[in-house]
């Protein structure tokens, strides 16, 4: 697809149609659903004494799978390999590489967000800012302004999804006084200038991390949304899953296989 990187840098997000090709969507769904079943068994086995039988699956407002971490990283096989291979699709890996302005964007996180078993309502508006390993917000912004983002994050629903809202351009500024006032009053309601991302199955939204965003509805409605991102550099300790990834096609690089 033809990208406008300058517009992405200005707005902080981009909608990508058919991030997952339509002819591969069902195969990717099946692979992830198998991993959901396997992770549910892990949560059942690891539940605390007073937890319900399903453990995290029954208690979390947004149960998440983490493919690149234990225990799921050891459960990637031929059946579930499409859940990893999807991250190498041109409209995901290729788009990320171009937006990062690097030779080969590196997969950093491979996750999936699922619906809860009961209604948890909306989350709070927030920025993905982690003081333990990132600069204060203004320093983070200054770095993005100087050299562009070092990481881009994706939501790619396997079923139609309109949960995510973003505030365009907020990745390059602090909260406004009006936003702070509204967030203090109620952090779980729409904000002025908020844009709801209406994504069809297989579409994706890619965004720059400190953008102000909102998970508007964590309900029991079926949700299987691929989540994760690409960085200018990365390190995944356990790469055993690569044994099950399809070999590169003629004329492609290993990164694009």
pLDDT digits (tens, 9 = 90+) for 43-83: 999 999 999 999 999 999 999 999 988 888 888 999 999 99
Distance CA 190, CA 160 (A): 20
Q: What percent of the chain has pLDDT over 90?
A: 82
Stated pTM of the model:
0.91
pLDDT digits (tens, 9 = 90+) for 180-204: 999 999 999 999 999 999 999 999 9
CATH of domain 5-231: 2.60.120.620
Distance CA 16, CA 18 (A): 6
11: left (phi over 0), alpha (psi -120 to 50) or beta: alpha
Domain boundaries, the chain: 5-231
Q: Are 230 and 96 in contact (CB under 8 A)?
A: yes
């Amino acid at each position: 697809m033809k990208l406008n990187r300058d517009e992405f840098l200005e707005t902080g997000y981009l909608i990508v149609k058919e991030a997952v090709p339509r002819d591969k969507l069902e195969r990717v769904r099946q692979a992830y659903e198998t991993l959901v079943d396997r992770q549910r068994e892990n949560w059942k086995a690891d539940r605390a004494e007073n937890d319900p039988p399903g453990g995290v699956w029954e208690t979390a407002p947004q149960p998440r799978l983490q493919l690149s971490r234990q225990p799921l990283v050891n459960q990637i096989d031929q059946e579930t390999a499409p859940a990893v291979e999807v991250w190498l699709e041109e409209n995901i890996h290729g788009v990320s590489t171009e937006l990062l302005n690097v030779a080969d964007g590196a997969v950093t996180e491979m996750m999936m967000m699922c619906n809860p078993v009961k209604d948890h309502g909306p989350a709070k508006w927030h920025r993905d800012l982690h003081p333990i390993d990132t600069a204060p917000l203004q320093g983070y912004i200054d770095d993005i302004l100087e050299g562009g983002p070092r990481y881009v994050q994706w939501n790619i629903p396997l079923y139609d999804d309109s949960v995510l809202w973003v505030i365009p351009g907020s990745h390059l500024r602090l909260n406004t006084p009006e936003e702070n006032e509204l967030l203090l009053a109620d952090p779980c309601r729409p904000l002025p200038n908020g844009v709801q991302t209406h994504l069809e199955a297989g579409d994706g939204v890619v965004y720059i991390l400190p953008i102000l965003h909102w998970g508007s509805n964590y309900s029991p409605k079926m949700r299987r949304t691929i989540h994760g991102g690409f960085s200018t550099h990365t390190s995944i300790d356990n790469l055993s899953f690569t044994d099950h990834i399809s070999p590169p096609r003629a004329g492609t690089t290993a990164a694009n296989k």
